[in-house]
Amino acid sequence: MRLTEPLRALIFGLLTIICFASADSTRNAAATQHQEAAHAESKQLPKQQSESESSLSPEEKADPKPEPPANVENPSNFDMSSQWSVTNRKEEIETTKELVPQSGPLSKPTEEPKPEPEPVPGSRGPPVPEPPSAAIDDEMEQISAEDYGDNKESAKPDEVDNDVIQQLVDRFLNTGSTDEEKEAKVNKAAQALVNSSAYWDMSSIQAERSIKDPAMAKKWMDGYSAEAQKVLYQVTTAGWSYVTSVSHLTKQIFDEAEEVLSEFVKSSSKQAKQFDMSSVDDPLLRKQFQMLSVDGMNALNDASRQEFSQIQSKINKMIAEAGICEMDKPPPCLLKHADIPSVLARKNNAENAQYIWMGWRSAIAPQLAPLYERLMQLTNQGATLNGFSDGGSMWRSPYELSIESSTPKRNMVEELNRLFSQILPFYKQLHAYVRRQLAGIFGIANTPQLTKDGPIPAHLLKTISADNWAALYHETKPFESDETRTEQVLEHLHKLNYTAKGMFVQAYKYFKQLGFGKLPKSLWTKSVFSRTWSKDMVCNPPVAYDMRDGNDYRIKACAQLGDSDFKMAHRLIAQVYYEYFYREQPLPFREAANPSTLTAIINVFSLLASNIDYLKSLQLLPANANDSHAARVNELYLQALEEVVKLPFDLVVDNWRFNIFEGRTNKDTWNDDWWRLSEHYQGVKPPVPRTATDFDAIATPAIAQMHFPAMRHFIGYIMQFQFLKALCQNKTNLSEGCRLQKSSVENVKKVMMLGSSINWVDALKMITGSDQLDARPLLEYYEPLISWLGNANERVQVTVGWEGAGVPFTDGPTQPWAGRDDDGGVRGIEELNGEGDWLNVRCGDDEQDLGDPSEASSEVPVPRTNASDANLQHVLSEDQVAFPGGDCSKGQECLLDSTCKSGMCECNEGLYTLKIGNTHNCVPGNPADAGFGDGHGGLVIGLFPEEKISTLEPSGEPEPSAKPELEPKAKSAERHALSSRLFITSLWVLTWTLFD
């Protein structure tokens, strides 16, 4: 578009006038506010400034969401690089302070925070519910009086790094594009630490074990701890900024902080190896040096380490971008990996399931195979440099309690096989029950690969990896009875005016009643408890963070009201307490005893949060609610489909990779070994014959993206029930949980306080009294389900196991069954009442509606429900739904004319997306036709006014900062002036570009 010279001059003249007028206005405002600030100081108003939160400019917020770095989505990439930073660096590292942190950690990181004054009672808005007084002890009044940071605060614009913005503007004006040059370093605080002390120097390192002076070793460790804390502080603050405000800038800042950390780990690890531990008498000091001497993949040279990181990034990107076409639909192929679970869950079409199963593997596996082969080679190289025989030995070392080439104290491969042999009878009953149900869901005519006594074809499990069968729950659940508890809890959460944050407050009160003590106020003022809709966030996984300054602990979650997130709140508060309790330990020990130990402990409190007596005490269930047998069996069945079936899958994954590490298999035998292990442990087989070039294992994200041992989940899940048994010693029905007393958790608190100064075996013995892993508590927990499965399979004479000859299903009935009454008597299923109607079979006080006994005794059952959306009868709670533009990666139902695609709810075909800020609306007409278009595919929306928010209201906005005092008005005016100038400059440049 071209304008006449007079019109062009008129437009530029108007812009110039606007620019100068804006500058004058902002200067006048700054002067006025400066005078007001000076006047306020003269009246001795508080001088303390609030810590400003930094954010991105509106232009940067509009950028497409970048791919998350591998170590954010995959919490375990740095497992072996530094044992002392397992939790925060590997899960997701956070800060709501500055994008480029300017200050270091506190001078005394281990000092306990001073008690804060109790707030003056006043108007608080909707109350956070508290348990009734009859169910609590005398400390409840003091617990409720604590300040949870619920004061209203102005949502002021965030602080801007003027230097960074000036660099971006200069580069744009000088080159016309910010992509033509290599990006400059923007994380100045992290870069300033490089070579800032002797701990970064690798030029004067002495020979390994050449320094034999214990005093020098102690002095080095003290200095190392101080320097390491500075580095970790920068990583966690940059990481928090990224996961709570995803953008290209925050990702770059986080990546640079991680690079600095990697460089520090490499140099400090080499320095630690100078000291001879045989001359050190202090066992804890020796352990610290041993932990630091294992630097994992940082042992590789710079080129190999960079290649290792790039391979992981490429694998993540390829999986995220790969797509397949839907069956019978031409390109473009838009079905992404994140879409596949929902597609498989909603269609009982065996042909379509097989098409997707094969299509995904064909689309991704051949491209990933050479990358994955190289990844395994580099892992073996790193293990050798750390003194291990291979990558598998290095991965197992934290569990086998081995160091370098020392003999392992435990053989974890044999240990896990022993544990699985305990679980195998339960798993076989579950496998047999599900196998029969699949014949009814898909139809025997459509599943010739499915037999009564053989492995299950993998594509029928409604998952791409066969590691989670939960999509089968509604069609196969044991009892048709309504699961009312979840909806009752949600209903009462609403009635009692709970917010997402309120669930965490209640979880906090639960722990304080058990004597866990008070946590720093930063937990309430700096955490993000619910989705911040004004910014892109990394919602999964929800985790708790130690910000590494000794007094700042936070939670990042996208919680919604509901039973599942109520339990999640208790799990995350438990994690915060774990991190807070070990703060007094030396820096290398400020971690859990082991990742599995952490998982087991915090998951126990998640289970206890569902105890019916506890929920009644909070009025989240009616007083007359009871824990029916049917509801309990259904709940355990769902848990088994989610977690128990993952245990044999863990063994398949680890053994397959261990065989590669040890050289027992190569690319030509990878696929055969994968399916051999899958059939042996899982009872699962491919739907069609496979060849050596299919690389089916690599198409599984649990293999390609999670490059750490799967035994972490296996061991953690076993220990979880051992801990539950120890805490609920007098409970006859372990699946019901219990109400804890203060004395019950004393050993748990001791384990938390000791951090990683003890190993996982010590932690296990302190809590349970035994140092041996044992699956019997798990079986006790699942006993109601195990008993039901045994009776159900016996009733219709289901073959248990998968080593049979491959006998096909038929439509004929089985032999009549005689079941056992609850009192041990025998009862036949084929009983008539006085009117000639078939009776329902009773199990305790609950009925299982079996219908006609000929149907109940048939080899092919009738599914509970149909998989299609129209026939799903269950009611979705708030954490099971999502709206246009929202996250549906956890299987949420997309509402308001949207469909889940690539983990996000997108408008249905034929509808337009109207996006205002971060709100998406599906509309039938093109927004551009209604005057919203800018002519280039974007929208023209007005400026948003300043908002007032309160953390007590259900809001997606971030919680207020730790220091709620407002910043000086003069500084605020200067920032607004800068924003105005940037806006006018951008408008001027845009107009020149459009009209030139």
Cα(810)–Cα(826) distance, integer angstroms = 28
Exposed (0-12), middle (13-18) or buried (19+): which is 448, by Cβ within 10 Å?
Answer: exposed
- Residue 582 is given by DSSP the state G
Cα(563)–Cα(492) distance, integer angstroms = 10
| φ and ψ at residue 923, rounded to 5 degrees | -125, 150
Short-list 491, 508, 509, 635, CA closest to 561: 491
Instruction: Write down the H helix ranges in 821-968.
Output: 853-856
Helix (H, G, I), strand (E, B) or coil at 216: helix
Short-list 890, 910, 908, CA closest to 899: 908
Name every residue whose Cβ is closer than 8 Å to that of residue 920 and which is 6 or more positions away in sequence: 883, 884, 885, 886, 898, 905, 907, 913, 914
Yes or no: say if 620 and 503 are a contact pair by the CB < 8 Å rule: no
The residue with tokens 């460089």 is 263
Yes or no: say if 313 and 70 are a contact pair by the CB < 8 Å rule: yes
Residues facing residue 555 across a β-bridge: 544
DSSP letters for 292-361: HH--GGGGS-HHHHHHHHHHHHHHHHHHHH-EEPPTT-PSP--EEGGGHHHHHHH---HHHHHHHHHHHH
Q: How would you classify the pairing of strands 919-923 and 912-916?
A: antiparallel
CA dihedral of residues 775, 631, 739, 129 (deg, nearest 10)? 130
Cα(368)–Cα(362) distance, integer angstroms = 11
Enclosing H/E stretch for 818: strand 818-820
Yes or no: say if 56 and 250 are a contact pair by the CB < 8 Å rule: yes
Helix (H, G, I), strand (E, B) or coil at 828: strand
Yes or no: say if 176 and 542 are a contact pair by the CB < 8 Å rule: no
912 is in an annotated binding site: no
Q: In this structure, which amino acid lies at residue 232? A: L
Short-list 457, 389, 400, 520, CA closest to 106: 520
Yes or no: say if 217 and 223 are a contact pair by the CB < 8 Å rule: no
Handedness of CA 481, 486, 489, 495 (dihedral sign): negative
CA angle 711/713/714 to nearest 5° reads 60
Short-list 862, 826, 821, CA closest to 844: 821
Cα(898)–Cα(740) distance, integer angstroms = 44
CA angle 59/63/64 to nearest 5° reads 165
Residues facing residue 154 across a β-bridge: 948
Radius of gyration of the chain (CA): 30
Yes or no: say if 221 and 289 are a contact pair by the CB < 8 Å rule: yes
Cα(932)–Cα(926) distance, integer angstroms = 9
Yes or no: say if 92 and 69 are a contact pair by the CB < 8 Å rule: no
CB atoms inside a 10 Å sphere around CB 937: 7
Helix (H, G, I), strand (E, B) or coil at 623: coil
Q: In this structure, which amino acid lies at residue 493? A: L
Exposed (0-12), middle (13-18) or buried (19+): which is 940, by Cβ within 10 Å?
Answer: exposed
Cα(821)–Cα(807) distance, integer angstroms = 31
712 is in an annotated binding site: yes
Token representation of residue 202: 């690798």
Binding residues for chloride: 399, 712
Binding residues: 399, 712
